[in-house]
Amino acid sequence: MRLVAVIVLALLAGCSGAPDLVDIRKVSPRIVLDIRYATPNNFTMQKMYDEAACFLRPATAARLSRAQAELEREGLGLKVYDCYRPLAVQRRFWALVPDERFVANPAQGSNHNRGAAVDLTLVDAKGNEVPMPTGFDDFTELAHSSYSYLPENIVQNRERLLRAMLNQGFLPLPTEWWHFDDPECARYSILDLPFSQLR
């Protein structure tokens, strides 16, 4: 009986082989991917990932899928910029921007390193991004979720994304309108695995 319990715990901890992460395309294929760190189109101006993939904890992916379904009823959807991020990449980010308002200190790790955070925006029914306060990875005050000196339609778009994510339990980051954490993120371990090991 003890052996069975150990095996079950190992499986739950992801020790049976592949870590406990899922590809969002297999959970909610209509979510649009624009994984910026797989391209030079990001604040580092360098390609940081080997492939454009979005891996998340299963519960986080399920929450995101429900947010997508809610938005689809309004003719909207989600476009994802970043999901799981290897810790090695977090260290590179910190070397460039050592400011915890915008980049998590790799000594503690980011919720992206846990596969329990997502960066994203809204798109219309044709997959076009709707206007938001700033572009992705903007480190100015305009990116703060409380910044209000904006056109009304942009504030409404930001609030619509916020409501859809809050409705599924996600927690926003005050300095980045695009960043949301799974409320259970603290129970997940930090990972430093390349995407190739998550297949």
**Burial class of residue 10, CB neighbours in 10 A (0-12, 13-18, 19+):** exposed
**Catalytic residue check, 100:** no
Fill in the DSSP letter of residue 17. S
Token match 């991917």: residue? 33
Distances (CA, A) of 30 to 12, 27, 80, 152: 28, 9, 11, 28
Token match 């695009």: residue? 178
Of the listed 51, 72, 159, 176, which one is catalytic?
176
Q: What amino acid positions are annotated as catalytic residues?
A: 176
